[in-house]
Chain A
């Protein structure tokens, strides 16, 4: 017979069980002793800060990826966000959603730009491989 709970350590099972019990308990029980309005205000504040921090992290990642592309191709340099937008607008095969560039954050624009550049780089090197 197989063990339905597998070989998980006890403490792992306890954690899984705790989450399951919290998930399935009524909202009234979950909220006992809490001030719902304060919780929502706190949650909104945490999410706002998290969005800002995540934007910074994505921006840093995009810049890092672009720097790698630039290192592989010494003539390339890091673009400004405006230049990145212009470049993306000029791409004919960018999806409709992604072309709505004015609504994208700076981090998203740079992220998209680095993806496009990486694709461009890889297709160029593929062509070079074929021509060799």
Chain B
């Protein structure tokens, strides 16, 4: 007799999220990748550095304030969560700065970025600043600049090499240098 197939939930359950993050922290290469993404978003944040971003993203996911879609990779999920935290931190800072200039009622109270980060999404200014910082960091390295341009056109992997007429070695070397520049990105709190 055919048994009805039970579909797993679309999002990871709390224990699964915990297990995925436990796996992440035992994998130094994945951590190094996550660190580079965190550094990208941490640029321009004065209130937190890349470690804070990663920690807060983990907290959001573990607390269930941000869902982990089953089909999305760990890095993809962390990217979204860290971006959300960074974006809300910036908004909160903007709010505080505006509040210094104009006396208004504080409807948002002392809510932390975490309170809102679960639902918030894109902040074009955050992304534009991060991109600009990365472009500055690679300035002078023509191949990496072209690499970034190709990414912005939506190309990845071998398509980049094909489009730019590079062999595999040139592509790998440029990607490696880009990865290094990401790791070296300075945040305002500047942790190595």
Residues of A bordering B, CB below 8 Å: 4-5, 8-15, 17-25, 27-34, 36-37, 39-40, 42-44, 46-47, 49-51, 53-54, 57-58, 61
Contacts of B155 in A (CB 8 A): 17
On chain A, the residues within 8 Å of B40 by CB distance are 15, 18
Q: Indicate if B73 sits at the interface (CB-CB under 8 A).
A: yes
Interface residues on B, range: 35 or more
The interface-forming segment of B4-12, B51-59, B93-101, B102-110 is: B51-59
* Chain B positions within 8 Å of A11 at CB level: 124, 127-128, 131, 152
Say how far A27's CB is from chain B's closest CB, in angstroms.
4
Q: Is the CB of A46 within 8 A of B25?
A: yes
- Residues on B with C-beta less than 8 A from A57 are 59, 63, 65, 114
Q: Which residues of B contact A20 (CB under 8 A)?
A: 156-157
CB atoms of A58 and B64 under 8 A apart: yes
| Min distance, Cβ B81 to any Cβ of chain A, angstroms | 11
Is the CB of B67 closer than 8 A to any CB of chain A?
no
Query: Which B residues are in CB contact (< 8 Å) with A40?
Result: 25-26, 28, 31
B25, B29, B37, B172: the one within 8 Å of A19 (CB): B37
Q: Across the interface, do A39 and B32 meet the contact criterion of CB distance under 8 Å?
A: yes
B57-76 at interface with A (beta carbon < 8 Å): 58-59, 62-65, 73, 75-76
Cβ–Cβ < 8 Å partners of A33 in chain B? 180, 183
Main secondary structure of the interface of A (DSSP, over half): helix
Query: What residues on A are CB-neighbors of B32 within 8 Å?
Result: 30-31, 34, 39
- Which residues of chain B from 153 to 192 have any CB-CB distance to chain A below 8 Å in the complex? 153-157, 172, 175-176, 178-180, 182-183
Q: Are B151 and A21 in contact, CB atoms less than 8 angstroms apart?
A: yes
Cα-based distance from A34 to B33 in the complex (angstroms)? 11
In the assembled complex, the Cα of A19 lies from the Cα of B189 at a distance in Å of 23
Partner of B55, one of A9, A12, A49: A49
Known: A15-B40, A33-B183, A34-B28. 19 other contacts (CB 8 A): A13-B151, A18-B182, A20-B157, A21-B157, A23-B75, A24-B157, A25-B176, A27-B29, A30-B30, A33-B180, A37-B28, A40-B26, A40-B28, A42-B31, A50-B55, A50-B58, A53-B63, A54-B58, A57-B114
Complex contacts, B64 vs chain A, CB 8 Å: 58
- Nearest-Cβ distance from residue B52 to partner chain A, whole angstroms: 9
- Shortest A73–chain B CB gap in Å is 25
Give the most central of A12, A23, A50, A58: most B CB within 10 Å. Answer: A50
Given contacts A23-B73, A57-B114, contact A14 B152 (CB under 8 A): yes
B137 at the interface (CB under 8 A from A): no
Is the beta-carbon distance between B154 and A4 smaller than 8 angstroms? yes
Q: Would you list the 8 A-B pairs with minimal beta carbon distance, nearest first?
A: A43-B25, A17-B151, A5-B154, A54-B62, A36-B28, A27-B29, A50-B58, A54-B63
How many angstroms from the CA of A44 to the CA of B24 in the assembled complex? 9
B90 within 8 A of A: no
